[in-house]
Amino acid sequence: MKATLSIKLKQLLIFACLIALSLFLSGLVENRLFSFLPLGCILVILSNWIMFKQEGLSLNYLGIDKSHKPINKILIGFLLGLCFVFLNLCIQIVVKGGNFQINHSPDIKALLIALIVVFPTVIVQQFYILGYGFYKAKQIGGNTFAVFVTSIVFISMHDISGNMWNLPFQLSNYFFAILMFSTALNRSGSILLPIGLHWGNNFANSYLITQNEMKTSYIFLAHQNDFIKDYYQYFGLLILGIAVPLIFITAVRILFKDKSEYMMY
């Protein structure tokens, strides 16, 4: 038993080293020696392929073959990601006030560029957190352990410094993001659904449906307080910030039958 665990931990460590190297060479981890962004996407996928191949598996294990209707899965995930951002902003209006405004002439060219630029970054992150590493973590300690470990990894990929009052929001957001992504993976049997979900969320949150008016914004918030007046607003936002991901997790569970039994962990 100990020998088996040791082998699995070594495999996980090798994968982590390959991923770290790919992030370094791609420039996703800042370095002054060499960086080429497209390498991030290529090398992270290649790292997953190498590790799965060592165990007699292929990337089809992650549900990227034709039988999983890849375009459909990505588009469904993308639409869910857009809805997630919109619902989050609705909650902010309910708790903090303000209203939606529509920009009737967003910068379409900038939007299309953003749509393309965000996609490879999302692919890198999803193969990093829900690829071979998630598979191996689930082998070692089950689904709950894998979600916990990948949550820590996901948090480490983001800047959580700043106002200490924002820390609970950031930590809960990243944890529930992993919970949503892993649920999407297990229910659909494919990494393509969480890729679409992550893509839609990042694109909408940063460019399309935003808190502040931007040249790419189609919908943005106006006349909203920049601060939280009372404790009830703070805890209200925190509680509702947890409720929204749970709503979307429930939606994914309704839309997709559980495929985790076919993913041989």
Tell me the C-alpha distance between 252 and 259, whole Å.
Answer: 12
Total number of domains in the chain = 1
Task: Answer whether residue 16 is part of any domain.
Answer: no
Over residues 194-226, the pLDDT tens digits come to 999 999 999 999 999 998 889 999 999 887 665
Query: What is the pLDDT at residue 90?
Result: 86
31 Cβ neighbours under 8 A, 6+ residues apart: 24
The pLDDT mean for the chain works out to: 80
Over residues 152-190, the pLDDT tens digits come to 888 877 766 555 666 777 777 888 889 999 999 999 889
Query: What is the pLDDT at residue 65?
Result: 78
- 8 A C-beta contact, residue 127 and residue 15: no
Tell me the C-alpha distance between 48 and 263, whole Å.
Answer: 15
Percent of the chain with pLDDT over 70: 74
Task: Answer whether residue 216 is part of any domain.
Answer: yes
Long-range contacts of 108-117 (CB under 8 A, 24+ apart): 110/207, 110/215, 110/216, 111/207, 111/208, 111/216, 114/203, 114/206, 114/207, 114/216, 115/203, 115/207
Question: How does DSSP assign 212-253, residue by residue?
Answer: S--TT-SEEEES--SS--SHHHHHHHHHHHHHHHHHHHHHHH
If you average pLDDT over residues 85-99, what whole number do you get? 82
If you average pLDDT over residues 14-33, what whole number do you get? 61
Task: Answer whether residue 25 is part of any domain.
Answer: no
Task: Answer whether residue 180 is part of any domain.
Answer: yes
> Cα angle vertex 180, ends 179, 182, to 5°?
65
Tell me the C-alpha distance between 24 and 4, whole Å.
Answer: 30
Tell me the C-alpha distance between 44 and 174, whole Å.
Answer: 21
Q: Report the side by side order of strands in the sheet with 219-222.
A: 99-102, 219-222, 209-210
What residue numbers bound the domain in which 111 lies?
A: 65-263
Tell me the C-alpha distance between 248 and 197, whole Å.
Answer: 10
Task: Answer whether residue 18 is part of any domain.
Answer: no
* H or E, element range at 25: helix 2-26
If you average pLDDT over residues 46-64, what whole number do you get? 88
Task: Answer whether residue 236 is part of any domain.
Answer: yes
Tell me the C-alpha distance between 174 and 10, whole Å.
Answer: 27
Over residues 229-262, the pLDDT tens digits come to 555 556 666 676 778 888 888 888 888 877 665 5
Query: What is the pLDDT at residue 265?
Result: 47
Question: How does DSSP assign 133-202, residue by residue?
Answer: HHHHHHHHHHHHHHHHHHHHHHHHTS---S-GGGHHHHHHHHHHHHHHHHHHHHHHSSTHHHHHHHHHHH
Task: Answer whether residue 46 is part of any domain.
Answer: no
Query: Smallest Cα–Cα separation from 118: which of 20, 217, 200, 29?
Result: 200
Task: Answer whether residue 189 is part of any domain.
Answer: yes
Query: What is the pLDDT at residue 17?
Result: 73
For residue 69, what pLDDT band results from cuts at 50, 70 and 90?
Answer: confident
Hey, what are 221's tokens?
């918030």
If you average pLDDT over residues 91-119, what whole number do you get? 88
Record the pTM. 0.83
